[in-house]
Amino acid sequence: MDWMVWTLPTAMFFSVIALLLVLMTTWELISPSRERRGFLPISTTRGDRFFIGMLSAAYIHLAVIGFTSLGLWLALALSVVWMVLLLRWG
């Protein structure tokens, strides 16, 4: 039987996502968010913007891997900048 090999980068990736989910849940319990409109064409809450940001970060990584010869560090940097912009002004 083949088992998935958990490398350090894989474990770190899923640990960071789990930590972000715990932090967002804690933030929501302490300070519930309200819907608002930013540059996105829909009204969103903090959790909506986080979900949209995580999905779009995955697509940013796939685009960098699929269409460029650049490293994943650039994709990570672009994703972090996008998440900050989206959570702040989205």
Token pair belonging to 34: 């309200």
Q: 75 with 64: CB under 8 angstroms?
A: yes
pTM as predicted: 0.79
Alpha carbons 60 and 83: distance in angstroms, whole number: 11
pLDDT by residue for the chain (90 residues), tens only, comes to 567 677 887 788 889 899 999 999 999 999 998 999 999 899 999 999 999 999 999 999 899 888 988 888 888 899 999 999 998 998
Alpha carbons 50 and 86: distance in angstroms, whole number: 8
Alpha carbons 10 and 49: distance in angstroms, whole number: 24
pLDDT at 1: 57
